[in-house]
């Protein structure tokens, strides 16, 4: 079973420094939601649309899923291709990225997985998971955070 949750901005997925209260609030809500899911499900894998390269570029030390995986002894996987993988494998659109994500979890069809992806690709990835033979539970989708929110400090 894949429990799929969406985020509308990946900034809430990690711990990079920010003073924007909206981001801090959304991170706290995301953290609490993930904690509740982990406490009430027997996840064997925490997977996410993110990469080590993206974490480095965001100046983050860890993602929320990485932190929980370490604390709870659950396997963690970054599933998004980095820039080298994108170039070498010709991953130049969202469809190919989603197929790459599937490849990262393909051997886990009999496992309970928590997968976090961007809200923009939530529906199409859920359909690909189902098409690949995964049972999917569609969970929470995130609140939209846009550039205006940052400028206003909402």
pLDDT tens for each residue of 27-66: 999 999 999 999 999 999 999 999 999 999 999 999 999 9
The yes-or-no verdict on residue 19 having pLDDT over 60 is yes
Residue 143's pLDDT is 56
Residue 22's pLDDT is 86
Tokens of 78: 């970054």
What residues have CB less than 8 Å from 115, skipping those under 6 apart? 2, 3, 4, 5, 47, 48, 49, 79, 101, 105, 125
Q: Hey, what domains does the chain have and what are their CATH numbers?
A: 2-152 (3.40.50)
Q: What ranges in 14-154 are assigned the alpha helix state H? A: 21-40, 52-57, 64-72, 83-89, 94-105, 122-131, 147-152
Tokens of 1: 């079973």
Start-to-end CA distance of the chain, whole Å, equals 36
Q: Are strands 45-48 and 113-118 parallel, antiparallel or unpaired?
A: parallel
What are the tens digits of pLDDT across the range 107-147? 999 999 999 999 999 999 999 999 999 999 999 886 555 54
With 0.85 as the threshold, say if the pTM is over it.
yes
What are the tens digits of pLDDT across the range 61-111? 999 999 999 999 999 999 999 999 999 999 999 999 999 999 999 999 999
């Amino acid at each position: 079973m894949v429990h799929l949750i969406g985020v509308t901005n990946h900034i809430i997925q990690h711990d990079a420094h920010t003073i924007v209260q909206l981001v801090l609030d959304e991170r706290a809500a995301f953290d609490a939601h993930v904690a509740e899911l982990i406490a009430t499900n027997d996840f064997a894998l925490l997977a996410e649309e993110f990469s080590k390269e993206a974490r480095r570029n965001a100046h983050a030390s860890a993602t929320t899923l990485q932190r929980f995986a370490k604390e709870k002894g659950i396997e963690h996987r970054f599933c998004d291709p980095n820039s080298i993988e994108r170039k070498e494998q010709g991953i130049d659109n969202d469809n190919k990225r989603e197929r790459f994500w599937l490849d990262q979890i393909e051997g886990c069809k009999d496992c309970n997985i928590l997968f976090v992806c961007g809200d923009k690709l939530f529906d199409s990835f859920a359909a690909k998971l189902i098409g690949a033979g995964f049972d999917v539970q569609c969970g929470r989708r995130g609140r939209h955070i846009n550039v205006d929110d940052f400028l206003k400090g909402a």
